[in-house]
Chain A
Amino acid sequence: MADSAFPTAPVPQLAQSMRDRSGVRRRLRYYGEKVAGSLVSLFAVILTSFFLFRIIPGDPVRTMTHGRPVSIEQQEQLRRDFGLDKPLAQQFLDYLTGVLRLDLGDSFQFNRPVTDLIGDRLWPTVLLVGTSVVISAALGLWLGVRCAWNHGSLGDRVNTGVALTLWSVPSFWLGLILIVIFASGAGWFPTSGMESTGVSGWERIPDIAHHMVLPLVTLVAVVYAQYLMIMRSSLLDEMGSDYIVTARAKGLRDVIVRRRHAVPNALLPTITLIFVNLGFVVFGAVLVETIFSWPGLGQLFYSGLAVPDLPLVQGLFILFSAAVILMNLLADLLYPVVDPRVRP
């Protein structure tokens, strides 16, 4: 960074190309380290998910066959089928290769491959969580910029207060209250589910949107506050900078100073945090999906917890953790692209 800030004598061609090459190597090394780190984390997650659920006392076979007349021979057969009679190391190796082949075993309660179940439930969650992240990021960033730019004003105080309050609200409670008021009370929205029965074709879109309003409001209300606060403090940091003073001194209009100079720089740390948060939002959907009976991964996870359906919970644990790791990696890889100052 220092050598680019003070261009002195023209650099000879040879030295220039040598520096470029070492730059490429440095960049490759940076990306390589990040990817390798994520892979290590992913391996640790698989390891955890294997051993964490092995320490649960109780016999999975007995849990599974609970309340059904099953002979000892059948139980032994099931044990062999699940590979529970093999040594632990062998079981782990089988498990690892299974995960790598996207084979997460069969769910105890649904008697179906976990991968299929996840495939069925993935899209409702992606739809709900994706929409909520887009809306809450847009809302949070927009309000955050306004708050920071007029900090200390009444609007700032009200917005910050509302955001902090909503941040303290348990999402499941907010969901219940919304149901009481708008669904079972006013009857404006359905209380649960994703679709009405008997609706097909293009009419499904408004129907799903109608069902999605309340869960969406709940998720956005709980999540956007964080983005607002991050954007606000990040922009306030930038507002004290010299280059903002310079921009103002040049006689630029307030809007231009804000849009062209301050906000782009303040967005950088915010983007990282949004990505990092994204992984956790998926997990946060567990409660909202449960409350609204939204047929997504979160609800699937909740139904697995109650039994407990080990392969299912295990598989979703890996999926949720992998989402967090992947988003962290994306943030790490994207950051140098959007911010030249930290380019390796």
Chain B
Amino acid sequence: MSAGTPATVAAAGPRRLAWARRRRTVARFWRQYRQNRAGLFGLVVLALFVLTALLAPVITADNALSVTQPPGSPLDGPSGDFPLGTDRSGRSMIDLLIWGSRVSLTVGFWATFISIAFGTLFGILAGHFGGWGSMVLMRVTDWFLVMPSLVLGVVLAAVMGRSLTTIIVAIGVTSWPTTARLVRAQTLAVEARPYIERARALGGGHWHVMSRHVLPNVMPIVLAQTTLMVGQAILIESTFAFLGLGDPTTASWGATIQAARDVGAVSSRMWWYILPPGIAIVLVVLAFTLCGRAIEGVLNPKLRERQS
């Protein structure tokens, strides 16, 4: 923050100074994040899943997802060739899980992106302008808040067809109100500070105040919220897929559990069909939750000492 005398500012250039400050902030953030062991665990698990998802085409065979020419015979138990057995079409469960991580992470990231983009935009607008517009905006938010994502998902699936996009939109549209409320509260808190008044007094317009002062201060909270939300989005995606609202051709974890239920894996106790996809979901969601809590802890020192 202490930029030194005006002479050194001129010498270093304001841009480079700003970058140096940002680097320091990131370094400090990482130093504090590192102290949270659960957060580190989450980060490692997450990195593994992301790596798996990215390398899926490399580490699985070309016909891994083929229903017509599957690598094995259907519903085989674990064996040397297929450590986790095969599904109802004879595909290796391991390969299905690997491809499933792609679906989950894609839906998680995009749904969260929609939710955060809308939530931040409306939250800042409602918090900054206040008055009638804000009231109407918050009413709309409340309206979306009570709308169950499942119902919207069903309607969208009927209108847009059953695809990943439908699920992403349904989750994104129903989850932005939470972000909007959080961002609005934070915006109100930030705008009450004296430096906003100073910026206004110096001639800063609405756009300047919102983009240069409010947004950077709101971002940390949004970051923590984002991380938590990806996990929840993945959970909702698996639910949608399980209820048969997903794209029937994608190998999602939820869809795999649904398929297992359909072939009677529950009564014939084919544990290798039901157990692994669920564990994968739990691991990913838990990893995101742990990371989100760790980020929250870094941003809120009061929280940090209680999480330890």
Asked whether any CB of chain B lies closer than 8 Å to the CB of A74, the reply is: no
Give Cα A48–Cα B38 distance, bound, in whole angstroms. 42
Chain B residues whose C-beta falls within 8 Å of the C-beta of A321 in the assembled complex: 146-148
Asked if A287 contacts B239 (CB within 8 A), the reply is: yes
Write the B217-257 contact mask toward A (1 if CB under 8 angstroms, else 0).
Answer: 00000000000000100010011001110000000001001
Q: Interface-forming stretch among A2-10, A37-45, A76-84, A199-207?
A: A37-45
Chain A residues whose C-beta falls within 8 Å of the C-beta of B158 in the assembled complex: 56-58, 308
Q: Report if A168-B146 is in contact (Cβ < 8 Å); known contacts: A56-B158, A184-B267, A191-B267.
A: no
Which single member of B150, B159, B244 contacts A56 (CB below 8 Å)? B159
Give Cα A165–Cα B231 distance, bound, in whole angstroms. 12
Asked if A170 contacts B146 (CB within 8 A), the reply is: no
Asked if B278 contacts A185 (CB within 8 A), the reply is: no
- Which residue on A lies nearest to B236, using beta carbons? A170
Interface set, chain B 22-46, CB cutoff 8 A to A: 38
Min CB distance A242 to B, Å, is: 15
Give Cα A179–Cα B285 distance, bound, in whole angstroms. 23
- Which residue on B lies nearest to A47, using beta carbons? B143
Give Cα A236–Cα B300 distance, bound, in whole angstroms. 14
Q: Report if A173-B146 is in contact (Cβ < 8 Å); known contacts: A167-B289, A180-B266.
A: no
Chain B residues whose C-beta falls within 8 Å of the C-beta of A53 in the assembled complex: 155
Asked if B278 contacts A170 (CB within 8 A), the reply is: yes
Asked whether any CB of chain A lies closer than 8 Å to the CB of B274, the reply is: yes
Asked if B239 contacts A170 (CB within 8 A), the reply is: yes
Chain A residues whose C-beta falls within 8 Å of the C-beta of B274 in the assembled complex: 173, 176-177, 180
Min CB distance B9 to A, Å, is: 40
Asked whether any CB of chain B lies closer than 8 Å to the CB of A302, the reply is: yes
Min CB distance A183 to B, Å, is: 9
Write the B255-295 contact mask toward A (1 if CB under 8 angstroms, else 0).
Answer: 00100110000110101001101100110011001100100
Which single member of B38, B146, B231, B267 contacts A41 (CB below 8 Å)? B146
Min CB distance B12 to A, Å, is: 41
Write the A296-309 contact mask toward B (1 if CB under 8 angstroms, else 0).
Answer: 00000010011010
Asked if B150 contacts A286 (CB within 8 A), the reply is: yes
Chain B residues whose C-beta falls within 8 Å of the C-beta of A37 in the assembled complex: 139, 142
Which single member of A148, A164, A191 contacts B289 (CB below 8 Å)? A164
Give Cα A38–Cα B144 distance, bound, in whole angstroms. 13
Q: Report if A302-B286 is in contact (Cβ < 8 Å); known contacts: A41-B146, A173-B257, A177-B275.
A: no
Asked if A57 contacts B243 (CB within 8 A), the reply is: no
Min CB distance B87 to A, Å, is: 15
Asked if B306 contacts A177 (CB within 8 A), the reply is: no
- Which residue on B lies nearest to A235, using beta carbons? B306
Chain A binding surface SS class: helix
Give Cα A176–Cα B243 distance, bound, in whole angstroms. 14
- Which residue on A lies nearest to B279, using beta carbons? A173
Chain A residues whose C-beta falls within 8 Å of the C-beta of B151 in the assembled complex: 52, 313, 317, 320
Q: Report if A180-B271 is in contact (Cβ < 8 Å); known contacts: A233-B306, A321-B146.
A: yes
Write the A189-201 contact mask toward B (1 if CB under 8 angstroms, else 0).
Answer: 0010000000000
Asked if A170 contacts B254 (CB within 8 A), the reply is: yes
Which single member of B146, B290, B306 contacts A151 (CB below 8 Å)? B306
Chain B residues whose C-beta falls within 8 Å of the C-beta of A283 in the assembled complex: 148, 150
Interface set, chain A 114-169, CB cutoff 8 A to B: 148, 151-152, 161, 164-165, 167-169
Min CB distance A341 to B, Å, is: 19
Give Cα A2–Cα B277 distance, bound, in whole angstroms. 57
Chain A residues whose C-beta falls within 8 Å of the C-beta of B38 in the assembled complex: 161
Asked whether any CB of chain B lies closer than 8 Å to the CB of A221, the reply is: no
Chain B residues whose C-beta falls within 8 Å of the C-beta of A279 in the assembled complex: 146
Give Cα A254–Cα B148 distance, bound, in whole angstroms. 44
Chain B residues whose C-beta falls within 8 Å of the C-beta of A324 in the assembled complex: 146
Which single member of B142, B150, B243, B269 contacts A180 (CB below 8 Å)? B269
Interface set, chain B 147-165, CB cutoff 8 A to A: 147-148, 150-152, 154-155, 158-159
Give Cα A58–Cα B260 distance, bound, in whole angstroms. 31
Give Cα A324–Cα B306 distance, bound, in whole angstroms. 32
Of the listed residues A170, A305, A313, the one surrounded by the most CB atoms of chain B closer than 10 A to its CB is A170
Asked whether any CB of chain A lies closer than 8 Å to the CB of B5, the reply is: no
Chain B residues whose C-beta falls within 8 Å of the C-beta of A184 in the assembled complex: 266-267, 269
Give 12 new A-B contacts, CB below 8 A, not counting A170-B239, A172-B239, A320-B151.
Answer: A44-B139, A48-B147, A52-B152, A165-B286, A168-B231, A169-B282, A170-B242, A170-B281, A179-B266, A287-B243, A321-B146, A325-B146
21 contacting pairs across A/B (C-beta < 8 A): A40-B139, A41-B143, A45-B146, A52-B152, A55-B155, A57-B158, A161-B38, A168-B235, A168-B285, A169-B281, A170-B238, A170-B242, A173-B238, A174-B278, A180-B269, A184-B267, A233-B306, A305-B243, A313-B151, A317-B148, A320-B148
Query: Could you list which residues of chain A lie within 8 angstroms of chain B, going by C-beta atoms?
Result: 37, 40-41, 44-45, 48, 52-53, 55-58, 148, 151-152, 161, 164-165, 167-170, 172-174, 176-177, 179-180, 184-185, 191, 233, 236, 240, 279-280, 283, 286-287, 290, 302, 305-306, 308, 313, 317, 320-321, 324-325, 328
